[in-house]
Structure 1
């Protein structure tokens, strides 16, 4: 039976996107170009309450591709997969395929 993690408060569960280490032609890419600075949101918490008791929801949703900080997050292993937990304000932004 697979386990599912539902983050608490304003935490976000992210599966890091692992870029290819070589091109389709077989050319090995330098380690610098294979940084893990993006990921896919797998689960989100409900949010946090402000001083007045109003719920402040998490700013991303499941399925979003997000830009992650170079350091931080808590590594979590569920089954044979590795995930990372971040707080909502640690996420740097969302990534879209739209051209500028």
Structure 2
């Protein structure tokens, strides 16, 4: 199965949560906060959305930071994805 986003939607795969803090403290499962960093898996075509021209600014493979409560969580097989609007992505992380 494959997710193909429509309009200005982007499919993200969340990056793994940190297991330990910078000082070396191991975090139990419940204490780990969901990271807001993800990798772009698929990008919609953009086009006219709500009467406005939308140009997609992210591409597959980009690492991004997205709004905390944004998107719809989707599970396909063993993998979990988040489908968000492009304007819910706040930054692209560059190395």
Q: What TM-score range do you get, normalising by the shorter chain?
A: 0.7 to 0.9
User: Which blocks of at least 5 consecutive residues in structure 2 are unaligned?
Assistant: none
Q: Residues 1-100 of structure 1 correspond to what in structure 2 (within 5 A)?
A: 3-22=1-20, 27-29=25-27, 31=31, 34-49=33-48, 51=51, 56-97=54-95
TM-score computed with the length of structure 1 as normaliser = 0.77
TM-score (norm. length: structure 2): 0.81
Which structure is higher in strand share? Answer: 2
- Larger Rg: 1 or 2? 1
Unaligned 5+ segments in structure 1 are: none
Give 3-state SS (helix, strand or coil) of 2:87's partner: helix
Q: CA deviation at 1:36?
A: 1.1
4+ residue runs over 6 A deviation: none
RMSD, aligned α-carbons: 2.3
TM-fit CA distance, 1:64:
0.2
